[in-house]
Chains A and B, each alone.
Chain A
Amino acid sequence: MNKVKTIEDVIVNVARIIIDELMFEDVTPETFDPEIDLVDEVGIDSMDLATVALVIQDEYGIRIDEDDYPKLTNIRLIAEYIHNRL
Chain B
Amino acid sequence: MRTHWKFSDILSDPEIRSRWQRVKKYFFLRESTYDMTNRCNIRCEGCYFYEGDKQFVSDNNDPLAWRKLMIHEKERGITFVVLAGAEPALVPELLKTCYQEIPLGAIASNGFKFIPESVGYRIHISVWGNDQTSHAIRKADRLLEKQIKNYKDDPRAVFVYTFTRGNILEIRDVAPILAENGCRFTFNMFSAPVGYAGELRHTRQTLAQTRDVMEEMLETYPENLLFSHYNIMAHTHEKGLHDLFQCSYPRMNPHEDVGLGKTFRQYRADQTWDRNAACCVPDTDCADCRHYASGSAIVTARLFRHATDPESFKAWLDYVDTYLAVWVMGYEKSRNLSRKFVEPPDRT
Q: Does B6 contact A (CB under 8 A)?
A: yes
Q: How far is the CB of B328 from chain A (nearest CB, A)?
A: 15
Q: A50-74 CB contact bits vs B (8 Å, 1 = yes)? A: 1101110110000000100110010
In the bound complex, CA of A54 to CA of B307 (Å): 8
Q: Does B262 contact A (CB under 8 A)?
A: yes
Contact A45 B304 (CB under 8 A): no
Q: How far is the CB of A76 from chain B (nearest CB, A)?
A: 17
In the bound complex, CA of A39 to CA of B255 (Å): 14
Q: Does A30 contact B (CB under 8 A)?
A: no
Give the A interface residue count (CB, 8 A). Answer: 18
Q: Kindly state the interface size class of chain B when it binds its partner.
A: 20 to 34
Q: B251-265 CB contact bits vs A (8 Å, 1 = yes)? A: 000010111101100
Contact A43 B77 (CB under 8 A): yes
Q: Does B305 contact A (CB under 8 A)?
A: yes
Contact B301 A47 (CB under 8 A): yes
Closest 9 CB pairs of A and B: A46-B259, A70-B257, A54-B7, A47-B27, A50-B304, A50-B303, A58-B6, A58-B8, A39-B258
Apart from A54-B7, A66-B304, 17 more pairs, CB < 8 Å: A43-B77, A45-B27, A45-B259, A46-B258, A47-B259, A47-B303, A48-B27, A49-B258, A50-B304, A51-B24, A51-B27, A54-B304, A54-B307, A57-B6, A57-B7, A66-B305, A70-B255
Which A residues lie at the B interface, using CB under 8 A?
Answer: 39, 43, 45-51, 53-55, 57-58, 66, 69-70, 73
